[in-house]
Amino acid sequence: MTTTTVEAVGLGKRYKDTAALDGFDLAAESGTVLGLLGPNGAGKTTTVRILTTLLRFDTGRAAVAGFDVAKDARQVRRRIGLTGQQTAIDDLLTARQNLVLFGKLFRLNKSRARERAEELLGQFGLTEAADRQAKGFSGGMKRRLDLAASMILAPQVLFLDEPTTGLDPAGRREVWDAVSGLAADGTTVVLTTHYLDEADRLCDRIAVIDHGRNLVDDTPAGLKRRMGADRLEIVAADPADLPALERVVAAVAEGDVVADEAGPSVSAPVKDPVAALTAAATALQDQKIAAADIGLRRPTLDEAFLELIGGTDQKEAQQ
């Protein structure tokens, strides 16, 4: 049975004449990763600051780990971890020394701080680097150490504000693996990110926010489905074959056929992707039409996100 670990209802926050949040809702189940997506200034960081008790809100209500954010801030802080865009570790200390220091800052006794440091070094794959200064770590290793520090008290909820900004692909994968492991162990993770592939890889649900308001809350797959069906796409080996390719694709299409002379290619949405692909390939072979490529293209999270954000901008421009 799942429980709602993070909840916000009708959150509102204004800075003079600007509404940073305008009736924003949010819910995250225990042991899941919830992604907050939106353009710069959408309200993502404001939401995280409110839920971590760093900022007061004007209207609505919010609860984390079963405690009211406004009324029981101290109880909330005991049950959360927060990792910001900049790492909080000391480059001159070793990985072990950093974790022991954080343990003491969280009022663990010396013995328990050392014990917890060893546990986290193993959990985040840093045991072999435990006695090396952090200044020699890669970006991904530093971020993993930073995550480990935020887990000193094994929080129920971990808030990550753009945790992979500036990391190379290898570093990002290291952080992704660490976050996935935390969720698998029962930690609820609320993640803000600008990277759509990151949200697709990590998140169980995604809340898209713009101008402080909810646009949609859905699974990554659900967001993609909003873009419509899979598309069959055939790239012509000879541009002169485009008309013939259009007829082949039209025979299996469930919507408008789009021909791109620059491609040169033809594409269209299809209801049964595998059957459509098989039928089109057979037709090409029967008609002796050469294709440079043939395949199915699924809508991406990038496309769904841009469609949502673009649609909002167009509506506001018309008002």
* pLDDT tens for each residue of 116-174: 999 999 989 999 999 999 999 999 999 999 999 998 988 999 999 988 888 888 888 88
Name which CATH class applies to 4-224.
alpha beta
Q: Which residues of the chain have pLDDT under 70?
A: 1-2, 311-319
Fold topology of 231-297: Alpha-Beta Plaits (3.30.70)
Residue 149, SS3 per DSSP = helix
Tokens linked to 208: 């898209």
What share of the chain in percent tops pLDDT 90? 68
Q: What is the pLDDT of residue 1?
A: 53
Which sign, positive or negative, has the C-alpha torsion 313, 314, 315, 319? Answer: positive
* Predicted local distance difference test score (pLDDT) of residue 212: 93
Give pLDDT tens digits for 71-97: 999 999 999 999 887 888 999 999 999
- What count of other Cβ atoms lies within 10 Å of the Cβ of residue 272? 13
CATH 3.30.70 residue ranges of the chain are: 231-297
Q: CATH 3.40.50.300 in the chain: give the residue spans.
A: 4-224
The one-letter amino acid at 83: T
- pLDDT given at position 302: 82
Q: How far is CA 196 from CA 79, 217, 301, in A?
A: 28, 15, 6
pLDDT score, position 303: 78
According to DSSP, the residues that pair with 11 across neighbouring strands are 24
